[in-house]
Amino acid sequence: MRHESFRLTVITGAVAGAVAAFGSSSVLGQTPPSRPDFSGVEIKVSKLADNVYRLGGQGNPSGASGLGGTIGALVGPDGVLLVDSQFAALTDKVIAAVRQISDGRIRFLVNTHVHGDHTGGNENLGKMGVTIFAREELRRRLADPATGGVPPGPAALPLVTYSGPTTIHINGEDVRLIPIPTAHTDGDTLVIFPKADVIMTGDLFRTLGYPIIDRPNGGTLPGLLGGLGEIIRVSGAATKIVPGHGEVADRDAVVAYRDMIVAVRDQVAPMVRRGMTLEQVLAAAPTSAYNNRVRGWDGPVPGGGTTADRFVSQLYAELKTQ
């Protein structure tokens, strides 16, 4: 299975607290999209391994597009471990989906990064007694949002934080939590299920929309490339790599994604050195060679502009500081 063409789809719209969830900042000063309607969202369950599942399907039969981040679920006699919690408005639907594959006893939740489409359900689950794990940086940013949003209630904050590799032994798996510093954000975690040969990446890797370097939340370009390198290093030819948004991919898709970032960076860097403005760089369309592989590259994103504009703007900001 080869995924050289990493099919991507735009995420449009977000609640106020989720504008930061997509790592957006205004590119062209446009008005953010209006509040989405979650009533039609259906959480689809797909099996990745004997006891590991993907929960997605935001209103799309293929489970490949729409609002909110992908959820992982490890199920078994010890209870359920979830990876990410989606938007708060979808908690009941997430719980109903979990009950399709287990007895519904959710014990643990791991957050891959701080954005609200991955942590929005934390408070609901925390009030149910679920123990939340995350990086210390993620906990701090939830408690004091970098983008000026309203902090969630205490139940939303992780009870267990870590700074180095951590293992949770549950349901016959040795679930590995691998911190990835200053990548998509400064609180990213890879969640690896070694026996199942599944990796949950959060938004460090995505097959929906161009990459996001969320600089207000501590993300950096070198860290993003390093994190993708770590995914490549720890995965094999048969590893199922589950992005924060989009279809399940393989190692080749991550290699292609990383190489695309490097290629676009190498086009933008000399423009920055020549003193071109952001508007001039955007007009040069440095992503054009890849847009035919990126379904929805020209769709709107929260904060204004397109997914390509957002990516190029974030590259520009990174390179201006070097």
**In whole angstroms, what is the distance from residue 153 CA to residue 143 CA?**
8
Predicted TM-score (pTM) above 0.95: no
**In whole angstroms, what is the distance from residue 300 CA to residue 22 CA?**
12
In order of 16, 211, 228, the CA distances from 23 in angstroms are: 12, 10, 18
Residue 16 main-chain phi, psi, to 5 deg: -55, -45
Q: Are 70 and 82 in contact (CB under 8 A)?
A: no
In the chain the first and final C-alpha atoms are separated, in Å, by 38
Average pLDDT over residues 97-105: 97
pLDDT tens-digit readout, 217-270? 999 999 999 999 999 999 999 999 999 988 899 999 999 999 999 999 999 999
CA-based R_g, the chain, Å: 18
Residues ≥6 apart with Cβ < 8 Å to 211: 184, 224, 257, 261, 311
The overall average pLDDT reported for the chain is 86
Among 3.60.15.10, 1.10.3730.10, 3.40.50.720, 3.40.50.300, what is the CATH number of 16-320? 3.60.15.10
More confidently predicted of 146 and 173: 173
Phi and psi based region of residue 247 (left: phi greater than 0; alpha: psi -120 to 50; beta: remaining): beta
Sequence spans of domains, the chain: 16-320
Per-residue pLDDT at 8 exceeds 50: no
Amino acid 100: pLDDT: 97
Q: What is the DSSP letter of 156?
A: G
Q: How confident is the model at residue 85 (pLDDT cuts 50, 70, 90)?
A: very high
| DSSP string for residues in 292-304 | GGSTTTTSB-TTS
pLDDT more than 90, % of the chain:
73
pLDDT tens-digit readout, 132-170? 999 999 999 999 998 778 899 999 999 999 999 999 999
pLDDT tens-digit readout, 50-72? 999 999 855 433 333 456 789 99
